Structures are given as structure tokens and as C-alpha cells.
Structure 1
Amino acid sequence: MKQLLFTITLCLFLIQTDASAQWFGKKKKQKEKNKTEKPKGDFKEYKEIIKGDVKSDEGLFTTHQIDDKLYYEIPFNKLEEDLLLVSRIVKLPDNFGGGYINAGSKVNEQVVRWYKRDKNIDLKVISFQNVSDEDSPIYKSVEANNFFPILYSCKIEAINPDSTAYLVDVSSLFTDEVSAINAMPDRLRKSYKVKRLDKSRSYIASAKSFPENIEVQHLMTYDAGDPPGRDQAGTISMLLNQSMILLPEDKMQPRLADDRVGWFTIQKYDYNSEKLKSDDYELIRRWRLVPKDIEAYKRGELVEPVKPIVYYLDPATPEKWRPYFKQGIEDWNVAFEEAGFKNAIIAKDPPTKEEDPEFSPEDVRYSVVRYVATTTRNAVGPSVSDPRTGEIIESDIIWYHNHLRSYRNRYMIEAGAQKESARTLETPEAEIGEMMRMVIAHEVGHALGLPHNMKASSAYPTDSLRSASFTQEYGLTPSIMDYARVNYVAQPEDEGVRLIRMMGPYDKYSVNWGYRYIPEAKSKEDEKPILDDWILEKAGNPWYEFGSGYGVADPRANRESLGDDHVKASEYGLANLKKVVPNLVEWTSQKGQDYSELAEVYRELGYMWWGYNRHVIANIGGIYETRKTADQEGVVYEHVPASIQREALAFLNEHAFTNHEWLLNKGILQRIEDAGAIERVKSLQVRAMKSLLDEDRILRMVENESLNGSEAYTVLEMLEDLRKGIFSELYKGQAVDAYRRNLQRTFVELAASQIAKLDAEEKRNNEVIISDIIPLMRAELEQLKSDITSSRYRTSDKMSRIHWNDLLARIENSFSE
């Protein structure tokens, strides 16, 4: 999953809501004073300002548009109230930000409060990261070290007729360049050579006030030397939407996060902790779901929530795809039923003007699945949450139109060997619709608070993915939040096997853990023992384990992989690819069209071939991570068994570092290019080899040997196995073809570059590198030099002898530099 979202460091989304601790900066006495104090000061008469052709709208604040001016009436009782300010893009130039910033993209979200200061009103950004009991001595220090910055300031112009609100001119908040809410980050400003904001072509387009939010749209125009897309005016214009939402006074009870169950979180630090440090912990981000009938809920009956989660479809969504989008949204009701709720999430068509004249996808009262007409091939599921409690307030799922192309291609490549209907560029509507449905379900999962669970794909036995009964009941992985899109393990003879991912048991488990209402718990601390018990009930079952796949060396958390045996799964995947390649010309050819579709699908097939190798490589020097708390038996980290690592290296020698005649299909290559096949295969093999010889991987293997001795798969053993595989022609006295010569040169270059890189770091930092990597790489090149010297004349092939002599020279040169 993954959109360009940028934030300012001033905005942090954290909260403490216990009775024992106040979130920093919210003094109840001051708030009450602001509600009751009488306005003072010499201001203009209200009627002198609000007159003539005025567009007024009553709501959270009454707004007035007069010509190019925008006024707010800020009620006295809304001063120092928590408001969430969400900035979104409504319209923008083609290909802005490389295509990953689109209509509906969120620019920023931050909590703000309006404060009165003499004759001014200040808008401050509020942080909930650091908290302390207001009555404790340390509160003064927390207050002094967390001073709230002023985002915007304006003068009080007048007081409204019934003396309940200050009238302020907020025009410049939307027409000047306020960095916290604009959509032109520094990197794009530099890339597009932006000179300035042109105020003559920037203006407020509309302002609407609703009971709990204000929506302002404003157009920003920048002078740019190198604007994106096909712009001919030398400018970049964007229409932005600013939502100011009143956060609920009745705050949702937060739920403590636990990294054994995957959730998006917000972090906080409590300085009133009795521990000898600040108490840092995280709260999960989730929607507020409360059963209508708590007694029935307690009895175990399925109960509707007081306020269900509602998603509207974008009016721009093509009619034929709407049923699949709705299914993808409402698929989550199965998981919510596990948590005791029925009809917890509802999908609706966009209302007509007659049904709801105020409906707008930019209005935060509506969560929308947006359909974006761009060439971007992606989908995302962001959300907006209350930083005090983690309550999700609204979200917009974004589907980019050309993501259809991604799934069309993938289906042909990974399912073409098994299913006849996948062997076309015109994927049948029911099948592409099912894929779209599952993409939407995946993105809704993010919007419900669930991150990627890349570990889920390793939970099922690989051969179970060839079983029709198993896959139809349990899907391809226990979680739809993994990146397991198409069942490439299934073989042509496996009839009835499910080929497209679906929701699984982990999804039901995680939703139950995060959303089940616990009536007896009066605080987040009360909930913790219950939540811990739910985790321990599933402990040891890989179906219910979580692993993000980011920042760890656990091969079980591979992206795009399937099954618990990566070698076997990749062998199945490669067997299918070898059946697909000879048919690609036929499957992609269209009368009167060129071979661009063939070239695209063929390139993507090569990347999938690399992916199958990547899944296997991850096992070498890999470390299993099983998240546990101190009260659970066993360790958290374990090195991958030596037998699995040896099997992985043997797979690579057989399938990655060989001559790929099946991939270098003459019938394809002669239709899509005049040259480049050798270089393309080399680049994929180099990628695999670089990954295998990665410095961090080698260091993990060295550490494994020091910890586990003879039980470890050592670096020396791995390098010897790799060398004998890559240079097998040398040891067998055989001729070396062009593809293998490329690969062998690459091995020498990579080993030499590791030495050169670390030597350079040593000299630059004036320190001795004590890592084993330099001596290992030197020893490997020395051994190879000796082997080439003694065996290079065993072949009569002249080109091979030239090649061996060249390698000797390269090795000598690497030692002399």
C-alpha cells in the first residue's frame, strides 16, 4: 500500500483520557471563563461590516462571504474548543506529484483551538503527545516544554448582534501561503521551480457551515518555471478544501494497543507515571461502535451499533463497478459479527441532489470511496482520527482507475496457466470485479484501523493452496491485509481452487480484538487483562500472528508471497510462468494494434519471476520474529534453520543464476525490441545477487554462527555453495554462454565493491572496520582466482577462455586498488 502525505512536526496525535490525568493545555477553569466573560474593547459596528451582497451560512460558526472576504463569527463558547483541521486537495493538475497525489488526497490534519488575545484571535496548533495531571508539580514543566505554536492570527473586527461571538476576517488564512495547510511541499516546489504564490489568481471559492464542521474551498495559483503535465500557462493551480471539525466533547474510551495484534496507533507519553521514566504507550485507531441494546449484546446476540460506519460511492464511479465496490465494503460485516455487531458497516450509492443537496465528497461528514481518473495504478485507504482517543471520524478510500490494468496483467500472468478466462486482455467482468472487490475490502481494512499483515501469507501449508475445499473456505492467507493477490501456487490440474484472495480468520480475530464492546470495563486499563486473554487464546497458532513486513528480516513476512514453504511455492509459481510465456503473444495480440501490451505484460512477468526469487532469498540469513510479552514462554527471535537456508541457496543456483531460455522467448523478443534481452535478464539476476550478498544479511549469518555454532548455515558455506553454482562451468570444464558470463562478472564486481566500499568508509571515518565482510570477500576472490588459474584451460571454447582471463584481471585489479 502504499500516496504522498505530508505533515508538520508541530502536529502530534496523542491523548490521555483517564480521570487521573488531564491532556496538556486544556484548563477547565479557563474554558468556563471564556464561555461567560463579556466582550471588551473598541470594535467596529457589526452592521458596518456585514452588509450588501452577503452570502451567509449558519452552523458551527456563522460564515459570511462578501466579495473576496470571508468572515467567521467565532462563538465565545467555542474558544479553546478542540477542532480538527483537515486539508485535502479537490482539484489539481494532471500528473501532479508523479500521479500519487490526486483529488481527495489528504495534505494534513492537526488539532487547533481559537484563543482570544486582547483584540486578536489566535489559531494555535495543539499537541496531545505529552500529558500530565494538572494538579501535579510536573505539570508546570510539561506546560513550559510544550508551548503551542500560533498557526494564524487575526484582529477582532466586531461583536455579533446578540453579543455571543467575535467577528473576524479569516480571508488571509486561505489566500496567503500558510505552510501548515497548503499542498505545495518543498520538494515539489523545487521540482516545479515554483517562484511564488500569485495572489491575483488565488481566491476563496466557497464556504459552508454545518452543525459540527466548516468546509472552505480555496484556489491557490503558483507561478512555476517547470509545471507538471501539459500546462501551458506557466502556473500550477489547485483547489483545496479545509475542513474544521468540532471534536466530540463526549470522548470515546480509548483502547491500548498491543503489537501482537496489528493496528494503526497514536502514541503518548504520561509524565505522571510511577515508573522511573515517562510512561509511553499507544492507542489503537478505530471507529466508535456502541451496541444499541447493551443487554442483548451481553447475552451474545448480534446487535446493531448506535451509529454504523457508512461509506458512499463517489458519483464518478462507473455503474458496472458499483456492486463490487459495495460488496468490498460490506464484506467486513462478517468480521464485525465476530465482534457482536450486525450491519456495522454500510455501503450506499451517492445521494442525488434532491436527496441531499449538501452532499460533497470533501465534506468530512461523509466517508467516500473515491474513483480517480488517472493513470496511477494503486488504491489507498486513509482515515482521519481524533488524536485524543484514536476515534476514526471519517475516511476516504481512493481507487485509481488504472489499477484495473494491474490486476488484468497479474491475473493473466499468475492464473493464465490454470484458468482459460485469464488468458485475455479483456478479463471477464465477474472476475475483474471480484478482484476489485477484494482491493476495496483491503483498503477499507486500512480505513478501519488495520495495517498490512505481511506475515499472514506464511501461515497456511503451501500444498493447502492447491486444495479447492481449503481455499474456498479459508482463502489464500488468513488476512486480506496481506499482499497475496492471486494464487500462483495452484497448478493447472487443481480444479476448483480459489485464485483470488479473500477475507480470512485473522481479519475476524483482529476486528473482534479491536472493536468488541466491553461493557464491564470502565477504562482502557480495565480492558487490558481481557484483551491479553484473547491474544493468549490464539498464541502459537500462525493463523493469528501479526508481522508488518517492515524493518525486520523475517522471511515469513514477505510481500506477495504465499505458503509456509517459499522454495516449494516459488517452484510452483515458476512452473506456471513457464507455461504462460509461450502463449503471451497469442493472449495479448489485438487486430490492428501494436505489441505494447505484450511488452508490458512480459516486463511485469519478469518482475514476478524476481519476486519468487526474492521470497526464497529472504530465508538466507533470515530471522523468525514471533511477537511475545514477557509472560509468554519462548524467545522472540530465532534464526531460520540451516536446512531451509541450504535449500534456498540450492533453489537460487538452479532457478535464479542460470540461463533462462524459457524467459528469453524468441517469439516475444522479436516483437517488442531490437536488443536488450541479455541486459534485462542480467539486471534481474544482479538484483538477486546483490540482495543475497547484502551486508546486513552477511552480518546476521556471522552472528548466527557465533550463537549457534555447527547448527548454523555459515557465511563460508553459503559463499562456497554460491560460487560453485555460479561458476559451475569452470569446475565442470564447460563452455560459458553470454548470459552466464554476465552473471559471473557481476559476482566478481559485487565482491570487489563490498571490499572497496568498506575500505572507503574506513579511510573516511579514520577507523578500523572490524566486520568479517572484508576478509570474507577477499578470501572468496582469492579462492576464485586460484580455481580459475588451475581450471581455465579445461574447456576448448575460446570465448570462455577469454572470459576466465578477464575475470583474473578483474580480481587482480580489485586487490591493487
Structure 2
Amino acid sequence: MFKQLLFLATALSFSAIAQDRRPTTPPAASGTPAATAPAAPAAAAPKAGPKSYKEVITDKSKTTKGLFIVHKLDEKYFFELPDSLLGREMMAITRLSQSSTTPGSVGLPAYGGELLNRQVVRFEKGPDNKIFMRSVAFINVSDDANAPIYKAVRNSNLDPIAMAFDVKAVRKDTSVVIEVTDFFKSDNTVISMSPIVRQAYKLTMLQNDRTYIQSIKSFPINTEIKVVKTYGVTPPMPSFGPSTSPIPSVNLPAASIAGAVTMELNTSFIALPAVPMKQRLFDLRVGYFANGYTVYGENSQRTEDKTFVVRWRLEPKNKADEERQRRGELIEPKKPIVFYIDPATPKQWRKFLKMGVDDWNVAFEKAGWKNAIRGEILADNDTTISMEDARYSAIRYFASDIENAYGPNVHDPRTGEILESHIGWYHNVMKLLKKWYMTQAAAADPRARKNKFDDELMGQLIRFVSSHEVGHTLGLRHNYGASTATPVEKLRDKEFITKNGHTSSIMDYARFNYVAQPEDGVTDFFPRIGDYDIWAIEWAYKPIYDTKTAEEDKLILNKWYKEKALPNRRLWFLTETNPYDPRSQNEDIGDNAMLASGYGIKNLQRIVPNLVEWTKQEGEDYDMLEEGYNEVVTQFRRYMGHVTKNVGGIYETPKSADQDGPVYEPTPKKMQKDAVAFLNQQLFNTPKWILDENILRRIRPDMGVDFISKIQETTLSSLFASDRLQRMIEMTEKTADAYSMDELFADVKGGVWGELKTRKAADAHRRNLQKIYVERMIATLNAPAAVGFPSTTPMKMFGAVVAPSVDIRKNDVQSMVRAHLTSLQGEIQAALPTITDKMTKYHLQDCVFRIKKALDPK
């Protein structure tokens, strides 16, 4: 439902630790001439290398044992690294613990608990009694460490040294001691923030005199370092309008007050599993986040991109449980997935956040696991669990006006094993839910017809969002194609909806059932854990026994897919982002956008006349009315976008090479013609129902002419987009029954220029629309060379498609546009003598002038 956020370090900064200076020669004795003074004996050079363990770690040291043995002596901190830890890979995860920032852009970390950085590191012995900390990247690997090609891969992928530490002491040749005080007080990127975040914060130099280590605590598999850091900061400049900078920004109130900003950062060093989890290889037919690298195999004849999904490790507690699971019995995992609810969460919402976590057990049971996941509500005074401790996953509650929530995860880059997750929950997500639910469900659900929802309704909305975000933390991507598995008329069937819900996946952006009409009796408008979600969890989390490699597992998974998912449309994943496929859209429901949007508009027409009453609050102004009305306009705009995507659409159905049939197919011609007919009827024929005078005279000085024009302009620009027209040209060449560009122009012109046939006066809305049409066609006729992604083929990543740029000067688009403008010019000139309305006549004369100038600029 909401964006996932991932902040990676993009550069490393290096810092040096000052070396101890040699003692200077003592001065000559008093009263002795320098020339005759006897030479002082040379001072003994200090012993090189590490000192004895007891000289460094004295009885005054306070010691904590864990991943690192941590010693504190006065204000200095030392790590004792056992030899078994040297060379072992671990994750450094840095989060904001406390801050005073206010984000100016969604996506920037600004609240306590949000991720700043994550990095895989390893400690190793270097020359001259040094311990190096290397930053490890997994890009190119060789699976066979004994093969000759392994050496070639290592030679081409040297991990950078992020920090060098002097060995202060050695303990019985089993461990080494390094001092880490200056390192954690530094701004080394591994334990700080990425350069792009620093730039967004406008931070300058780290202020050493106001930077200190708050605490270092060590646990069995992790060590937690909490540091207070103060930075100089560039004060914000006065803002006189929206920023055009591509770099997101944050507001730092402290910058104006003190010229500095203080943050508390928590870095978790957590050991990556000593025994890596077996990978489950990525399949574009099942929607999972993925990681990968390029593999150089000794016996291969080409490089292979190995891509695997991210998922939690679930294992039986013992052999007996494994045998029970093999027989089909449900068993509890050795280590369940637990999300702790932030004690900062308002009490009335905690149980609903927990429900959203617990709801996923129905899916894990299908995969053979009982009680695999649960939410835990922490007591307000519970100090045994820290929200920054990387051993614990949590739903963090942020006091923020951002209307959002997100569900990230931190995983082992070697295998995709999810290690922990901190779901970010912004307080103002409730505002967003209230707007959506009122706009999409109030026509049929009386509970949504008020300014403030009852706690039970809001709680169930929170539960839905919680489930969605937990789905992301389990590895699931959005499945925008899930809702199109439900026929539109079934969305009005109370019995069907009660049993199946309105979409087969809670990971869709299918929000609420806006199709159901008041007379249908539907009472369930929420998404839920659906058929696709249950299948996807089974695919990723059901153990596969008696195999040794992920490649063997992939053959079994392919068999599962063909047996279970292939015959059942409700189990399909149709990619998360696709610019071509009208079946893969967010915010839509049903298998036919024209039918679904038509029903949605009927419900909006029921809501608009009631908005004044439903948003009324004694003693308050019309802010809530304006908010509700704007959301209605936004919802109407969404419907237009859903319909438009059918025109020139290309269905993309992910398939493996052993499946029959094409991957790409044009959207049926009838669907495309229906889409244009819908736009002509619902948008280009002015939607005056939305221009409710009773509302507009309370919230704005104009009567909405301009915002209607903007929706029309956006839709026309999308319809006549160069990549869409190019696809229509190609489909016409390949398929005799394709919907052609010529038909598109003719059908749109028929809807926009109907007055040329009826000879009726055109009102201001229609005149604006017709000018927009002319200007859009002229812009296409005069389009410059294409800019953007230069490839002639779409770019793909994990199934997501990015459309290539199209140079319409080199295809038939401009030829067709010129022909249609010439024809339109003739039709307007033929109609002009019969037009009696003065303003319409002036308007048409102006349009003729513009077209003539475009066709013959000389």
C-alpha cells in the first residue's frame, strides 16, 4: 500500500587515528654550558606493537560480553575481537534513534527508528599490527572457492578498507583488542548516513566537542552502539514556491535556532548467519523482492545472474518436528517471526496493529507452519527490549503529519534471509485512510459519513494497512494485477464478497470496494489476506526437503506453479510496475476499468450532494469540506487514468519457457474502443455533476472550470503520448483487427468536436477542451527529437518494465497528426458560416488560425 524505503551507503569516508609521538630529548641541566654539557643518554624507544593485555584492559575496566567483548575504561571503549570473528561477515545497521528533523520529502529518514544506512563489513588482520574493517559488496562471485576462476573474481572485486585500527593488545593469541572510541565518534559512512541523506539535511562538519558515545551494549549475536552526534548545518533559505531540486530536503528547526543539529544514532553490528540459509531462486511469476549477483562458474560458458528472493528463515525445532511436517502436520518454527508494537503507539490502536501481524498465520499454515508470526504489545514500562536493537523487529510509531506507512526489511545479501524489520507507521496515515474510505465507500457504508470515524472502523482500517506492510516485510511486492481477477459484477455480489473479498491480494493497491452500490447489500469493503497471498507465502516458505541446491528446488517450485497457480487466475502475479498493461494498475478494482469506473462515478455522484452535511463541524470552517471534495476530484481523476491505460495497451503475462502462449498480447480492440467512448461520455462531455455550486461557493472563488480542463488536458496528453501511438502503429502492422491510431484520432475528435455536427454553441468548458485538443495535436506535430532512455527495447529489472523513448519524427505519428489537423481545419471552416453564437465563432476562428500557423509556419 505504501512505499518501501531503502537507504544504502553510496560512498565511504576514511578517518585516521593519530599515532603516539616519541618523547622529546630532555633539556640540558641548569648551569651547564650547552657546548660542554655531557651528552644525555638516548631515550629508549617505546616498545613497538601491542602492549600486554593487562596493561590495556586493567581491573578498572567495565566489561560486557557478546558479539564483541566490550571494555570501557574511563571514557574510552575497546572491542575485543576473538580470532573466530575475524573474516566473518556481519551487518552494520544504523538508525536514527532521536532527532529533531521534519521531512520535506516522503522517503527521507527523519524520525526515531528510521533506517539511515546498512553495510556488510568484516574485520581482518592487516600488516603492521593493524585490524582492517572492510566494506563488503556482493556483485560478482564464484560459487566454487577451489576453482581457478575464484581467484580471478577476487582479483577484480577487492573490498575497500573502510577503517584501520591499531592492535592495542593481544590476549593469549586468541583475541585482539582495538580502541573504537574515535571511530564511533567519527562520521565514517559505515556507521553514519549516506552522502545523499547528508546533502538533504544540508549538514556540514561534525562538531567533535558536542559528539559523544552514549552507550555500547553487547548481546550474543549483536552489539549496539548509541552515539549523539552534532553537525554544523547550512540554515534554510526562504522559500518562495515549490522546490525544483531533484534532491529531497528536510526542515531542521535547530538550524535556524542554533546553527547546528544534534541527532542520536544507533548502530547495530549483527553477525550474519554462520550457516547461510539455502536460497530460493527468483521467479517473475511470483511477486517477491529479490537480491542477486553475477556468478562466474568454472564450467559455465557465460556469466549467470543469480537472483534470489528475500524471506525469513523458518526451520523445525528438531528432527521429530521435521518428520511431522513431512507427513503434512503443522509445526511451530524454531524461531517465529515476531513484531513488537512500539510503546509510543496510542493504546486504542495497538491491538489493531497486532491483528494485522497475526492475520498472516492463515497463509503460513498453508506452508506447513503453525504460529509462525505474531505481534507482541510491549508494556509501557518494558525496558527489556530496545526498539533500536537489531535482534527485534518492530512497528515504530512516528508523530508525523506524513500520510504514509512503509514496510522495509534488512536481509543477508548472500542468501536473501531477512534478519529484521522496522515498519514505519506515521500518525497521519489515519487521515489518508479516512479520506479514502469516505470517498470510496460512503455511498454504501453509513459508518463512513462523518468527520471522525468510530474507533472500531478506524481500527479495522489500521489493521488492513498493518497487514499490507507486514506483507512487504515478509518479502512480498505489490501485485497490482490481483484485483483484475475479480469480474466487476462480482464486486456487487454480497455472498461472493463475504467469501472472497474484492481482490485476491492484500498486496494490491485495491484499497476499498468502490463498485458496490447501496442497493447491493455489500457490507465488507476491506481488502484481506487473499488467495494470492496464501499461495505466495506457500511458494516461498514451504520447506523443500531432500534437495541440496536452490537449482533443484527451482524445478520443484516450477511444478508447484503449474499445478496450483497456472490454472487459477486469482493466483497470478502480473508484475508490480508496467507502463503497458491495463490489468496492472494501482488504485483500481475489477476486470473492466470502464464498468468499474462507471459504478464508481455513480457512487461519487451520490456522495457529492452530501459532503457539506457529512463534513460539517460546529464552530469550524470548511477545511474538511474542501479536503473531502478534493479527494472526490482525485478519485474521479484516477478513474480516467484507469480507463486511458486500456488504449494502446499490451497485456504482459509472465511465463517460463516451458509454458505455452505469448507473453505479450494487445488489449482487445473492443476494450480500447470502449475506453475512448467512456472518456468521451464521462470526461470530454463536461462532468457538471462534480461542479456542485453548494460546495464550490464555500471553498473556492471560481467555479471549477480550470480544474476540469486540467483533468481533460492530462487525459488527452496521455492518450496522444508518443509511446502509446507507437504501440498502436506496431499493433496495426501485426494484427488486422487492431485498434489503429487513425481510429483513435477519429473517435476522440468525434467526442471533443461534436458541436461541428450539431452546430450548437460551445460553452466555456467545451471551448477550453477544444483548444487543448488543438494545442496537443500541434505539440505532437512539432515534437523535437526524443530524449531519455535511448534503447529501442524496454528495460527490465525483476519484471518491472521501463518504456524506451520514441522519436516520432521517424515514424508515422506526425504524418497522421498532420492529416487529422488538415481535416479538422476543413471541418471547422465548413461549420463557421452556420455558427450564430458569437463566442463560439471567435473560438473556432482562433482554432483555424492556430492550425494554419502550425501546418504552414512560414
TM-score past 0.5 threshold:
yes
Please, what is the CA RMSD of the aligned residues?
Answer: 2.3
Which residue, 182, 188, 195 being the options, matches 1:178? 188
- Could you give the per-residue CA deviations for residues 750-769 of structure 1, whole angstroms, max 9, x where no partner exists? 2222233335879x99x993
Partner of 1:522: 548
1:96, 1:172 → 2: CA distance?
30
2:660, 2:91 → 1: CA distance?
43
- Could you give the per-residue CA deviations for residues 428-462 of structure 1, whole angstroms, max 9, x where no partner exists? 22222111111100111110111101110101111
Partner of 1:22: none
Contact 2:479 2:574 in 1 (8 A): yes
Superposed displacement of residue 124, structure 1: 0.6
Task: Identify if the C-alpha distance between structure 1 residues 220 and 99 changes in structure 2 by more than 3 Å, giving closer, same or farther.
Answer: farther
Partner of 1:108: 117
2:712, 2:680 → 1: CA distance?
11
Partner of 1:59: 66
2:298, 2:584 → 1: CA distance?
35
Partner of 1:137: 148
1:771, 1:154 → 2: CA distance?
63
Matched, 1:788 2:816: no
Task: Identify if the C-alpha distance between structure 1 residues 304 and 791 changes in structure 2 by more than 3 Å, giving closer, same or farther.
Answer: same
Partner of 1:24: none
Structure 1 stretch 188-197 or stretch 115-124: which is displaced more? Answer: 188-197
Contact 2:7 2:118 in 1 (8 A): no
1:189, 1:42 → 2: CA distance?
37
Partner of 2:361: 333
- Could you give the per-residue CA deviations for residues 171-212 of structure 1, whole angstroms, max 9, x where no partner exists? 3333222234433633x5555543322222222222111111
Alignment of 1:541-580 (within 5 A): 541-580=568-607
Task: Identify if the C-alpha distance between structure 1 residues 452 and 660 changes in structure 2 by more than 3 Å, giving closer, same or farther.
Answer: same
Q: Which runs of 5+ in 1 are unaligned?
A: 12-39
Superposed displacement of residue 551, structure 1: 3.6
Superposed displacement of residue 804, structure 1: 0.9
1:737, 1:342 → 2: CA distance?
65
2:633, 2:115 → 1: CA distance?
34
Q: In structure 1, what residue type is equivalent to 2:153?
A: V
Q: In structure 1, what residue type is equivalent to 2:427?
A: H
Task: Identify if the C-alpha distance between structure 1 residues 195 and 529 changes in structure 2 by more than 3 Å, giving closer, same or farther.
Answer: closer
Contact 1:68 1:203 in 2 (8 A): no
1:78, 1:302 → 2: CA distance?
37
1:416, 1:92 → 2: CA distance?
39
Secondary structure at the aligned position of 2:517 is classed as coil
Partner of 1:207: 216
- Could you give the per-residue CA deviations for residues 456-483 of structure 1, whole angstroms, max 9, x where no partner exists? 0101111111111111111111111000
Alignment of 1:20-169 (within 5 A): 42-50=49-57, 55-66=62-73, 68-100=75-107, 101=109, 102-118=111-127, 119-132=129-142, 133-160=144-171, 163-169=173-179
1:750, 1:416 → 2: CA distance?
37
In the alignment of these two chains, the number of paired residues is 782
Which residue, 586, 594, 603 being the options, matches 2:630? 603
Secondary structure at the aligned position of 1:453 is classed as coil
Structure 1 stretch 291-300 or stretch 753-762: which is displaced more? Answer: 753-762
Alignment of 1:279-358 (within 5 A): 279-292=304-317, 293-351=321-379, 357-358=383-384
Matched, 1:375 2:401: yes
Q: Which runs of 5+ in 2 are unaligned?
A: 13-46, 237-250, 791-804
Partner of 1:20: none
Superposed displacement of residue 110, structure 1: 2.1
Task: Identify if the C-alpha distance between structure 1 residues 243 and 190 changes in structure 2 by more than 3 Å, giving closer, same or farther.
Answer: closer
Alignment of 1:273-284 (within 5 A): 274-284=299-309
Contact 1:656 1:688 in 2 (8 A): no
Alignment of 1:454-603 (within 5 A): 454-537=480-563, 538-603=565-630
Secondary structure at the aligned position of 2:519 is classed as coil
Superposed displacement of residue 273, structure 1: 5.9
Q: In structure 1, what residue type is equivalent to 2:305?
A: D
2:229, 2:856 → 1: CA distance?
59
Matched, 1:689 2:729: no
Q: In structure 1, what residue type is equivalent to 2:445?
A: K
Secondary structure at the aligned position of 1:220 is classed as strand
Task: Identify if the C-alpha distance between structure 1 residues 67 and 574 changes in structure 2 by more than 3 Å, giving closer, same or farther.
Answer: farther
Superposed displacement of residue 70, structure 1: 3.0
Which residue, 617, 633, 639 being the options, matches 2:666? 639
Contact 1:99 1:375 in 2 (8 A): no
Which residue, 621, 624, 642 being the options, matches 2:648? 621
Contact 1:273 1:279 in 2 (8 A): no
Contact 1:467 1:497 in 2 (8 A): no
2:685, 2:192 → 1: CA distance?
52
Partner of 2:421: 395
Partner of 1:30: none
Partner of 2:275: 250
Alignment TM-score, normalising by the size of structure 2? 0.88
Secondary structure at the aligned position of 2:291 is classed as strand
2:447, 2:537 → 1: CA distance?
35
- Could you give the per-residue CA deviations for residues 586-636 of structure 1, whole angstroms, max 9, x where no partner exists? 111100111111111211211110111111111101011111111111110
2:521, 2:425 → 1: CA distance?
32
% identical equivalent positions: 40
Secondary structure at the aligned position of 1:758 is classed as coil
Superposed displacement of residue 417, structure 1: 0.8
1:697, 1:273 → 2: CA distance?
45
Superposed displacement of residue 645, structure 1: 0.2
1:713, 1:394 → 2: CA distance?
50
Contact 1:289 1:308 in 2 (8 A): yes
Contact 2:10 2:194 in 1 (8 A): no
Q: In structure 1, what residue type is equivalent to 2:570?
A: W
Task: Identify if the C-alpha distance between structure 1 residues 693 and 49 changes in structure 2 by more than 3 Å, giving closer, same or farther.
Answer: same
Superposed displacement of residue 770, structure 1: 1.1
1:330, 1:601 → 2: CA distance?
33
Task: Identify if the C-alpha distance between structure 1 residues 556 and 273 changes in structure 2 by more than 3 Å, giving closer, same or farther.
Answer: farther
2:856, 2:672 → 1: CA distance?
34
Contact 2:783 2:808 in 1 (8 A): no
Which residue, 209, 213, 235 being the options, matches 1:226? 235
Secondary structure at the aligned position of 2:583 is classed as helix
Task: Identify if the C-alpha distance between structure 1 residues 92 and 657 changes in structure 2 by more than 3 Å, giving closer, same or farther.
Answer: farther
1:180, 1:97 → 2: CA distance?
25
1:394, 1:41 → 2: CA distance?
43
Partner of 1:6: 7
Secondary structure at the aligned position of 1:562 is classed as coil
Task: Identify if the C-alpha distance between structure 1 residues 87 and 97 changes in structure 2 by more than 3 Å, giving closer, same or farther.
Answer: farther
Q: In structure 1, what residue type is equivalent to 2:390?
A: V
Superposed displacement of residue 289, structure 1: 0.9
Q: In structure 2, what residue type is equivalent to 1:563?
A: G
1:540, 1:696 → 2: CA distance?
33
Contact 2:5 2:408 in 1 (8 A): no
